[in-house]
Amino acid sequence: MINRQMTVKQKAKQVAKLLRMERPDYFYLKELFRHLRTELKVVVQQKPKKLPYVPSEEEINNYYDLVWNAQNVAHMVLIKILLYTGIRVGELIKVKLEDVNLRQCQIKINDGKGHKDRVVPFPKGFREVLVAYIKSCKEKQAIYLFESIRKGPYTDRGIRKILLQYSKLAKMKHTMTPHKLRHFLLTWMKKKSVDDALIQPYSGHDSRQSLEIYSKLSITDAQKKYDEVINDFPI
C-alpha cells in the first residue's frame, strides 16, 4: 500500500520496486500509465494549439519585390519554388535537376516527411524561368537544383539565411521562413475554396481522418485544380 505522506520521488521508487521483477520496457510502462490515468480518471491537459503566423498578400508582394530588385536569379527561383509548391526546406535541398519535370510542370520530392515520395506541381507560367535556370545549372555541371559555390547542395541553414536577408531589407515584423511561405500557399489555396482532398496529394500532409478519401485522389486531380487557381497567385 502506497503511503500518501511519501514524496513523489519516494512513491516512484516504491512503484518501481513492485514492477522491477517484470522488467518492463518503455511501451509496457506507457500502456500501464495510460490505463492508470483511465482508472483514476485523470484528465490530460493539452496546451491549446497556437495558430501559425501567415503572411498577408501585401507582405508577400513587398517581400518578393525586394527579391526581384536584387537580381539574384537563384534566390528568385528558390523563393518562387517555395511559394508555388509549399515544399518543406528539408525537401527542397534534396531536389536534383533530374527531379524537375519541365514538360508536366512537376517536381518529384524524394524521401519527404514520413519518408514518402510525392510529386508537387508548379505553374505553367513559371516553366520558362525554370528552363533557363536549369540550363545554366547544367552548364556548371550541377547535380542539385540549388548548389553552393562549393558544389554541394544548399543547406537548411543557408536557405533560412537567404530568407532572413530579404526580411531585414523589407523591415518585416515577422521574419520570413520557408514554413511561413508554405503556410501562405496552403492558406491561399483554402481561400480559393480548394478542397483539402485536392491539396493533400502535393502538400505532404497525412490526415488520419481524411486518409481514405485522400488515397482515392491522384496528383493529376490535384494539379488540374491547382492550374485553375494558380494564375491568381499574388506573384
In a domain, 203, yes or no: yes
* Residue 70 and residue 135 in one domain: yes
Where the chain has pLDDT below 50, the residues are 2, 208-216
Say what the pLDDT of residue 65 is: 94
The domain that contains 63 carries what CATH number?
Answer: 1.10.443.10
H-helix segments, the chain: 8-19, 26-39, 57-70, 73-85, 89-92, 127-139, 156-169, 178-191, 196-203, 211-214, 219-229
* Residue 67 and residue 135 in one domain: yes
Spatial separation of the C-alpha atoms in residues 181 and 159, rounded to whole Å: 13
* Residue 111 and residue 28 in one domain: no
* Residue 131 and residue 194 in one domain: yes
In a domain, 235, yes or no: no
* Residue 91 and residue 21 in one domain: no
Spatial separation of the C-alpha atoms in residues 183 and 4, rounded to whole Å: 50
In a domain, 45, yes or no: no
Give me the half-sphere count of Cα atoms (radius 13 Å) on the Cβ side of residue 63. Answer: 29
β-strands 118-121, 100-101 pairing: unpaired
The whole model's pTM is what? 0.72
* Residue 29 and residue 61 in one domain: no
CB 176 within 8 A of CB 159: no
* Residue 150 and residue 188 in one domain: yes
* Residue 142 and residue 95 in one domain: yes
Domain around 192: 57-230
Say what the pLDDT of residue 210 is: 39
* Residue 65 and residue 135 in one domain: yes
CB 107 within 8 A of CB 101: yes
- Give the chain's domain count: 2
* Residue 187 and residue 143 in one domain: yes
* Residue 13 and residue 70 in one domain: no
In a domain, 2, yes or no: no
Say what the pLDDT of residue 166 is: 96
- Could you tell me which residues come within 8 angstroms of residue 136 by beta carbon, excluding any fewer than 6 positions away? 73
Q: At what angle do helices 73-85 and 127-139 cross, to 10 degrees?
A: 130
Residue 82's nearest CA partner among 190, 177, 206 is 177
Three cell numbers written together for 111:
524521401
Three cell numbers written together for 23:
522488467
